[in-house]
Amino acid sequence: MRARNPAYTQRLLALNVRERRLRKSWTQYDLADETRLRQALISEIEAGKANPTLLSLHKIASALGVQVAELVLPQGTVLAQGTKPVARGRAKPAKKNADAR
């Protein structure tokens, strides 16, 4: 994957949060109530001025009914469902069963 400029990711986050909030016909106050975050933070995120914590992103994604990744990816990106994260490094060899001789 190509490295992105952090400002680009912040713009994606701003656009995606706003677009998904408006799909629900919610105000920023409605989203703030659902997430228990300050409305000012929601406003700053949508303006691309805030760097929210992972916990805040999780609360926003949960309230909007999406995965956190969907908030920072370009719209139309398809996420694989039910996949496991790829392990980094070398795989450990399987343990041999002593009974299987």
Average pLDDT, the chain: 85
- Mean pLDDT on 97-101: 53
Closest CA to 32 of 45, 23, 19: 45
Residue 1's pLDDT band, with cuts at 50, 70 and 90, is low
Nearest Cα to Cα of residue 17 among 29, 6, 7, 28: 28
Per-domain residue ranges for the chain?
6-69
- Domain at 6-69, CATH homologous superfamily: lambda repressor-like DNA-binding domains (1.10.260.40)
Distance CA 83, CA 95 (A): 24
Question: Would the pLDDT of 83 be above 90?
Answer: no
At residue 15, the 3 state secondary structure works out as: helix
In 3-state terms, what secondary structure has residue 64? helix
